[in-house]
């Protein structure tokens, strides 16, 4: 009998494959328990990703900050496969018009959501012009390891080959991914995942607009994240700053350096109440000789002077290399570009005025 069954076994198995579905002899698969989708909140602030042009050919001529968050979400129904999403319209602005008040208000709303146990991730749709500043600000002051992902687009949704829908899909995929926890605030555009600290807008007309001098952290492709690096600088849970303890941000300005420079801009910023001036210096944060006396005088009046580099592939400014920073009691921004140095200076000055402490902060963040 045993030999008979062994001989007939394969034939009998093959027969079961011919049966109509549901009549197979195998055990019925257990009913698929619906996967608990991560709960992701999308905070909309405006920008091109919410922009609209007159025609599909208008990829560069359009109005930013026109499309409400409900319409953004309705335009990407596939988000429902990734997460349980809901939207909030916190602002509707082109991001070049963000002020410190908008930054603080957005930061406070993010902190509230991050504390909510029914929120697993946060996406912020944002204009690309100052996205890098908001991303760095949040990475400094949000005390959470939950994914906070900023996303924008280079073309409005009305344009041919618009990039916003896929950028938003990718951002929600990353924000709902537990692997994205603890990596600081992130920025996703053009299939790349960047650190909110490192990334900046390097091109103003291409979809590959955002670059990080030390490279992206990873890629997101078809809703899956692939990680290759981790941030090395302090951020979020490991930060000493907390949005809930920052009532206001001091005025910090940026003076751009070039040939034939004089001290007009620096004195004007000081007269307007700046607490620090970021010198966007040529090369290694160099300071033109005619400007040095004014900067030394302003330092003596209590302003902080921060040497950064205007180099567009990112700077690397070290103390006492181009200028006697120890003697002048000036600070250096290290690898931060001028606009990022301004963000860190504002946050740091909300905590300390001490130069040595400030320089430590520039090394660590």
Sequence-distant (6+) residues with CB within 8 A of 132 are: 187, 196, 199, 200, 201, 210, 339, 340
Q: Is 33 designated active site?
A: no
Q: Is 128 designated active site?
A: yes
Q: Which of 179, 171, 155 is nearest to 44 (CA)?
A: 171
Nearer to ligand DAS, 38 or 127 (CB): 127
Which of 33, 45, 61, 128 is an active site residue? 128
Rg value, the chain, Cα: 26
Name residues contacting ligand DAS, limited to 259-288 (CB under 6 A): none
Nearer to ligand DAS, 64 or 308 (CB): 64
Nearer to ligand DAS, 47 or 285 (CB): 47
Helix, strand, coil proportions of the chain in percent (round to 5)? 35, 20, 45
Binding mask 50-69 for ligand DAS (x = CB under 6 A): --------------x-----
129 is in an annotated binding site: yes
Binding mask 66-105 for ligand DAS (x = CB under 6 A): ----------------------------xxx---------
Nearer to ligand DAS, 130 or 236 (CB): 130
Q: For residues 171 and 163, what is the distance between their CA atoms, to the nearest angstrom?
A: 12
Does 208 engage in binding with ligand DAS (CB under 6 A)? no
Cβ pair 135, 199 in contact under 8 A: yes
Which of 45, 48, 139, 207 is an active site residue? 48
The distance of closest approach from Cβ of residue 63 to ligand DAS in the complex, given in angstroms and rounded to an integer, is: 10
Nearer to ligand DAS, 48 or 225 (CB): 48
The distance of closest approach from Cβ of residue 153 to ligand DAS in the complex, given in angstroms and rounded to an integer, is: 7
The distance of closest approach from Cβ of residue 176 to ligand DAS in the complex, given in angstroms and rounded to an integer, is: 23
Q: For residues 323 and 293, what is the distance between their CA atoms, to the nearest angstrom?
A: 12
The distance of closest approach from Cβ of residue 47 to ligand DAS in the complex, given in angstroms and rounded to an integer, is: 3
Does 236 engage in binding with ligand DAS (CB under 6 A)? no
Nearer to ligand DAS, 93 or 308 (CB): 93
Cβ pair 305, 295 in contact under 8 A: yes
153 is in an annotated binding site: no
Sequence-distant (6+) residues with CB within 8 A of 174 are: 121, 147, 149, 180, 186, 188, 193, 220, 225
198 is in an annotated binding site: no
Q: For residues 47 and 265, what is the distance between their CA atoms, to the nearest angstrom?
A: 30
Which residue's entry shows tokens 């801009």?
265
Taking the CA atoms of residue 102, residue 105, residue 110 and residue 115 in that order, the dihedral angle to the nearest 10 degrees is: 170
Does 132 engage in binding with ligand DAS (CB under 6 A)? no
Q: For residues 316 and 245, what is the distance between their CA atoms, to the nearest angstrom?
A: 31
> How many CA atoms lie less than 13 Å away from 115 in the CB half-sphere?
9
Taking the CA atoms of residue 337, residue 340, residue 342 and residue 347 in that order, the dihedral angle to the nearest 10 degrees is: -150
Does 47 engage in binding with ligand DAS (CB under 6 A)? yes
In this chain, which residue has its C-beta nearest to ligand DAS?
Answer: 127
When binding is defined by CB under 6 A, the residue of 53, 121, 127, 164 that contacts ligand DAS is 127
Q: Which stretch binds ligand DAS (CB under 6 A): 116-124, 126-134, 183-191, 346-354?
A: 126-134
Which residue's entry shows tokens 């700046």?
274
Q: Catalog residues that contact ligand DAS under the rule CB under 6 A.
A: 47-48, 64, 94-96, 127-129, 152
Q: Name the binding residues.
A: 95, 128-129
Residues with active-site annotation: 48, 128
């Amino acid at each position: 009998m045993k030999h008979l069954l062994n001989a007939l076994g394969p034939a009998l198995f093959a027969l079961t494959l011919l049966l109509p579905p549901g009549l197979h002899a195998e055990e019925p698969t257990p009913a698929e328990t619906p996967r608990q989708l991560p709960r992701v909140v999308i905070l909309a602030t405006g920008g091109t990703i919410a922009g609209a042009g007159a025609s599909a050919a208008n990829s560069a001529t359009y109005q930013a900050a026109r499309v409400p968050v409900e319409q953004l979400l309705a335009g990407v129904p596939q988000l429902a496969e990734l997460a349980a999403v809901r939207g909030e319209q916190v602002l509707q602005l082109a991001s070049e018009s963000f002020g410190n008040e908008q930054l603080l208000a957005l930061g406070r709303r993010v902190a509230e959501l991050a504390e909510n146990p029914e929120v697993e991730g946060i996406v912020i749709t944002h204009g690309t012009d100052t996205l890098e500043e908001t991303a760095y600000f949040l990475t400094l002051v949000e005390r959470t390891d939950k994914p906070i992902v900023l996303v924008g687009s280079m073309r409005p949704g009305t344009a041919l080959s618009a990039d916003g829908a896929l950028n938003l899909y990718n951002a929600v995929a990353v924000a709902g991914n537990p692997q994205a926890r603890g990596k600081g605030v992130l920025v996703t555009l053009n299939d790349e995942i960047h650190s909110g600290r490192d990334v900046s807008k390097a091109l103003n007309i291409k979809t590959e607009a955002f670059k990080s001098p030390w490279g992206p952290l990873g890629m997101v492709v078809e809703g899956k994240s692939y990680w290759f690096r981790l941030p090395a600088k302090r951020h979020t849970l490991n930060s000493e700053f907390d949005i809930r303890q920052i009532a206001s941000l001091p005025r910090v300005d940026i003076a751009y350096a070039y040939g034939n420079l004089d001290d007009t801009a620096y004195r004007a910023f000081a007269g307007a109440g700046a607490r620090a001036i970021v010198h966007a210096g040529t090369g290694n944060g160099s300071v033109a000789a005619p400007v040095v006396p004014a900067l030394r005088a302003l330092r003596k009046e209590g302003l902080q002077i921060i040497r950064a580099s205007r180099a567009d592939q990112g700077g690397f400014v070290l103390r006492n290399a181009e200028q006697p920073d120890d003697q002048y009691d000036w600070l250096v921004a290290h690898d931060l570009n001028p606009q990022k140095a301004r963000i860190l200076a504002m946050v740091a000055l909300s905590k300390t005025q001490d130069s040595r402490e400030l320089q430590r902060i520039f090394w660590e963040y």
